[in-house]
Amino acid sequence: MRDANSTQNSLQDRLRKLPAVDTLLAQMAQNPAFKEIPRTVMVGAIRQSIDELRAAIKSAGNGFPESELDPDAIGRRISDKVASAMTENLVRLVNATGVVVHTNLGRSLLAADAVRHMTEAASRYSNLEFDLKAGRRGSRYTAVEDILCEISGAEAAMVVNNNAAAVLLALDTLARGREVIVSRGELVEIGGSFRIPDIMAKSGGILREVGTTNRTHLHDYERAVNEQTGLLLKVHTSNFAIVGFTASVSLPDMVGLGKKHGLPVMEDLGSGTFVDFKKYGLMKEPTVQESIATGADVVTFSGDKLLGGPQAGILLGNREIMDRIRKNPLTRALRIDKLTLAGLETTLRLYRDEAGAVKDIPTLSMITGPLSHIREKADALCKRLRAIDDARLQVGLLDSVSKAGGGSFPLLEIPTTCVTIRIDGLSASTIDRLLRQSRIPVIGRIEAELFLMDMRTVIPDEIEIIRHAVGGMLD
Ligand SMILES: *Cc1c(COP(=O)(O)O)cnc(C)c1O
């Protein structure tokens, strides 16, 4: 009982030693380095530090190191928090994963011209919703609709915030309260918990699953058609592939069935590309133009996956349906902003000349670029890293494969060259963590206990950044 009491007393003693917010505020104000720090940041860092110490005292009991309560130690704790509060949260990093459209690392990088247009739209007034010829209010979407129709061959076009929004909007417009027939093999979940059945429920469409996970036939769709049917939906199984004993119904067959029953057919392409990657020695991905030519009534896809533009959702198709979609009040809630519009317009214009697009749009050039270019970057990095000249560091080259990402080409592995690093006394996962925590983070990957950097997605001027980060680990 006495012991319990004395522990209780010393706990109270320690808690009493915690300085008050005002005391710390006055103490920090002595330091000229903190002169420019906003008061809200300072107070927040102080409160957080006191809270942390209080929790540590309570949980560590007698094991709590008294030194933590030294004014210097508390000062350091506060200044760390101030430093992190004063640093932007969204930071650039080096993508050395080799995954070109990496959803966690910002998906697509924009072409330089698209960035130029976005900067201009951001810093100057524009004719965003103003018809310069007529001198009156205009539509925000005209900037991209014509060019979308021109390159895709579609009758009409519409753009929203992202493809998830495009799918929601199309289903809400065409299938609210009606049945939507979808193959069980296409009820996908993509990253960020976007699931076809959930989006269907939100839109008010009634999911009518047909077929099995691995095989669905045209007669499965045919049998499911009834007076309640509102739409036939095909979803591109972007991020996985069913292999082996499989069967799925092609878009032309679905379009045929739709015509027969007077039902619209929609295809969610997911990634969506205007370029036939087969021409570049890669796997076939269905192109947007092919889906439109086949006669799909609505085709939806992302702006920032294989297209290589800003985040957006693009809807193409039949004029009458697009007009209905445009009138849906949800459209206003899902509209894109002017920066996206500017970046998207310029990206789309680049597609008028495919060779130019493949060269200037980073997503395309990284996917289709020759192995020799990747090898050159790998050689350059190796040379810079060897110049560090530290006996603990071993640098090497490794032939490997990279992924396109962004829920495209699930099975595709593109030959690439990686730079490997080994450091005496550090495991691959420690190297991975330290590089991730460098001033400009470097994100690589680990294969068979070896840390490697896939040079496909590394931009030449980032080689110096990697050298700094690796050098920093050896200091
Ligand atoms: C990626 C994807 C979506 C969602 O697109 P976002 O632009 O990320 O909203 C929808 N459907 C499929 C099949 C996808 O691959």
Whether residues 73 and 129 fall in one domain: no
Flag whether pLDDT at 2 surpasses 60. no
Residue 262 exposed, middle or buried by CB count within 10 Å (0-12, 13-18, 19+) = exposed
Query: Are 181 and 269 found together in one domain?
Result: yes
Residues 225 and 324 in one domain: yes
Do 228 and 122 belong together in one domain? Answer: yes
- Interval 215-239: pLDDT, tens: 899 999 999 999 999 999 999 986 6
339 and 394: one domain? no
| pLDDT of res. 20 | 94
Q: Angle at Cα 158 formed by Cα 157 and Cα 163, nearest 5°? A: 115
Determine if ligand 1 sits within 6 Å of the CB of residue 186.
no
* pLDDT attached to residue 126: 96
Write the CATH number for 447: 3.90.1150.180
**Using 50, 70 and 90 to split pLDDT, how confident is the model at 112?**
very high
* CB within 8 Å of 133: residues ≥ 6 apart: none
Q: What is the pLDDT of residues 56-94, one digit of tens each?
A: 999 988 888 889 999 999 999 999 999 999 999 999 999
- Looking at the structure of the chain, the number of domains it has is 3
Is residue 7 over pLDDT 90?
Answer: no
Overall average pLDDT of the 369-396 stretch: 96
- Which contacts (CB < 8 Å, 24+ apart) does range 388-395 have? 388/467, 388/470, 388/471, 388/474, 390/474, 391/424, 392/423, 392/424, 392/425, 392/474, 393/421, 393/422, 393/423, 393/470, 393/474, 394/421, 394/422, 394/423, 395/419, 395/420, 395/421
**pLDDT of res. 242:** 74
CA nearest 330: which of 149, 171, 157, 200?
A: 171
Question: Between 265 and 411, where is the model more confident?
Answer: 265
What pLDDT, on a 0 to 100 scale, did the predictor assign at position 405?
Answer: 74
Average pLDDT, the chain: 93
The pLDDT of residue 4 is: 60
Residue 107 lies in a domain: no
Q: What confidence score (pLDDT) does residue 5 get? A: 65
User: Which atom of ligand 1 lies closest to the CA of 192?
Assistant: 8
In a domain, 59, yes or no: yes
* Residue 221 falls inside a structural domain: yes
Give the residue-averaged pLDDT of 345-352: 98
Q: Which residue's CA is minimally distant from atom 6 of ligand 1?
A: 163
- The Å distance, Cα 166 to ligand 1 centre, comes to 9
Considering the domain architecture, whether residues 344 and 436 belong to the same structural domain is answered as no
Tell me, yes or no, whether 157 lies in a domain.
yes
Which atom of ligand 1 has the smallest separation from the CA of 312? 7
Give the whole-number percent of the chain exceeding pLDDT 70: 96
Question: Which carries the bigger pLDDT value, residue 307 or residue 1?
Answer: 307
Q: Is 363 in the pocket of ligand 1 (CB under 6 A)?
A: no
Q: Is the CB of 374 under 6 A from ligand 1?
A: no
Q: Which of 295, 330, 360 is the last residue of a domain?
A: 360
pLDDT tier, 429 (very low <50, low <70, confident <90, very high otherwise)? very high
Domain identity same for 258 and 376? no
pTM: 0.91
Note the pLDDT of residue 3: 58
Q: Is 45 inside any structural domain?
A: yes
| 266 plus 332 within the same structural domain | yes
Q: Are residues 329 and 189 in the same domain?
A: yes
The domain boundary, picked from 332, 360, 388, lies at 360
Band (pLDDT 50/70/90 cuts) for residue 387 is very high
The predicted model gives 351-369 an average pLDDT of 97
Q: What is the pLDDT of residue 458?
A: 98
Average pLDDT over residues 439-464: 96
Q: What is the pLDDT of residue 1?
A: 47
pLDDT above 90 for 192: no
> What integer pLDDT is reported at residue 406 of this predicted model?
66
Tokens 């809807």 identify what position? 315
Q: Which atom of ligand 1 is nearest to the CA of 196?
A: 11
Q: What is the atom index within ligand 1 of the atom nearest the CA of 164?
A: 9
Mean pLDDT on 123-135: 96
Q: Does 76 lie in the same domain as 132?
A: no
Same domain, residue pair 285 and 196:
yes
Residue 381 Cα to ligand 1 middle (Å): 35
Asked if residue 164 has its Cβ within 6 Å of ligand 1, the reply is: yes
Kindly state whether residues 200 and 77 are assigned to the same domain.
no
Instruction: Please work out whether the CB of residue 308 comes within 6 Å of at least one atom of ligand 1.
Output: no
Of the pLDDT bands very low, low, confident and very high (cuts 50, 70, 90), residue 55 is: very high
pLDDT (tens digit, 9 = 90+) per residue, 253-268?
A: 999 999 999 999 999 9
Residue 183 tokens, joined: 């193959």
pLDDT for 435 beyond 60: yes
What range defines the domain where residue 430 resides?
94-102+368-474
Q: Is residue 153 part of a domain?
A: yes
Is there a domain that residue 456 lies in?
yes
Can you give the pLDDT at residue 475? 87
Backbone angles phi, psi at 142, to 5 degrees: -55, -35
Whether residue 25 is contained in a domain is answered as: yes
What tokens appear for 43 in the block? 């107070």
